[in-house]
Amino acid sequence: MNKGESSLTSLISAFSRAYHSQFDTPKIFDDYLAQELITQQEFNDIQTNMVQGIQFFNKEIAEKLNGQTEELLKWIVQTQLSPTPLARAAYCEKVLLNEVMLGLQQYVILGAGLDTFSLRHPEFENILEIFEIDHPATQEFKKKRLAEVNLKLPSNVHFVSMDFTKKFSSENLLDNGFDNKKTFFSLLGVSYYLTKEETSSLLDHLFANVPSGSSIVFDYADEKLFKEQGISNRVNNMVKMAAASGEPMKSCFTYEEMEKMLENSGLLIYEHLTPDKINELYFDNRKDYLTAFETIHYVHAVKK
């Protein structure tokens, strides 16, 4: 991400959620507010860029669906863009809502981007403090867009600016009311863009001052990230697109590496979802192009 610019990946992720909410059935994750945070011009521009780039994604599909603009867009979004943002959000919120029923008081969204959880769950305003952490430019973009569409965040939402590639500081969190209470963290679509050392350091600092039972859900890429082609070369496309947007992917893990890193931070894996398991849980028996993304795993880890 270039200095002073909002994250392009956060906009693309919001686009994929908005598209799914409007056009796909059945819903994996219905973020019906995502479309509010994208202007019609941005939505149209992304659609146009995707369709015009079909040769990059898949030449055979480009020939097969030539002239069928809507079907081309559907293929690109459902094959390349949507699977991971949709399924990881569905999984994370399932875990989060369960934690809230168990008395959770704090939720920290790392790399929040254009997240809409607080807007979709105003009923938690008086029981759950929500801390959205992201790059200052991305947060300013979100605040501006919310104001433009007259969406007001609940009073329990706190913006905390942070650059994940720099040393984590808990001071900003504490200054915004963060406390030593049971906390749930989400780290979605972030770990790929950090080095292994940066991810390890972030986990160390996140869990240094929270009680036992606090936990995190995040997605990560396995050791095949930079070798796997995937359906229609989509894994390779993902890596190339990230690099082209100025946000290159930097790390991938074996399960053993992930387990060891978490253990070093005082965490135990409570649940681990492989691509096959994700496919079974969220994409089974679909009649469209949506399938779980190769190489991408989800983890729910808990502090001992």
- CATH number at 83-303: 3.40.50.150
- What CA–CA distance (Å, rounded) separates 298 from 283? 15
**pLDDT, tens digit (0-9, with 9 covering 90-100), for 271-289:** 999 999 999 999 999 999 9
pLDDT value of position 69: 94
Check whether 4 has a pLDDT greater than 60.
no
pLDDT value of position 245: 82
Check whether 40 has a pLDDT greater than 80.
yes
CA atoms within 13 A on the CB side of 44: 3
The pLDDT of 210-215, averaged and rounded, is: 96
Structure tokens at 180: 């030593």
**What dihedral do alpha carbons 198, 215, 192, 298 form, nearest 10°?**
150
- What CA–CA distance (Å, rounded) separates 189 from 9? 9
Check whether 3 has a pLDDT greater than 50.
no
Percent of the chain that is helix, strand, coil (3-state, to 5): 50, 15, 35
Check whether 5 has a pLDDT greater than 80.
no
What residue segments make up the domains of the chain, in order of their start? 83-303
**pLDDT, tens digit (0-9, with 9 covering 90-100), for 128-176:** 999 999 989 999 999 999 999 999 999 999 999 988 777 777 788 888 8
The pLDDT of 26-53, averaged and rounded, is: 95
Check whether 1 has a pLDDT greater than 70.
no
Contact call for residues 58 and 78 (beta carbons, < 8 A): no
CB atoms within 10 A of CB 142: 23
Contact call for residues 193 and 220 (beta carbons, < 8 A): no
The mean predicted confidence, pLDDT, of the chain is 94
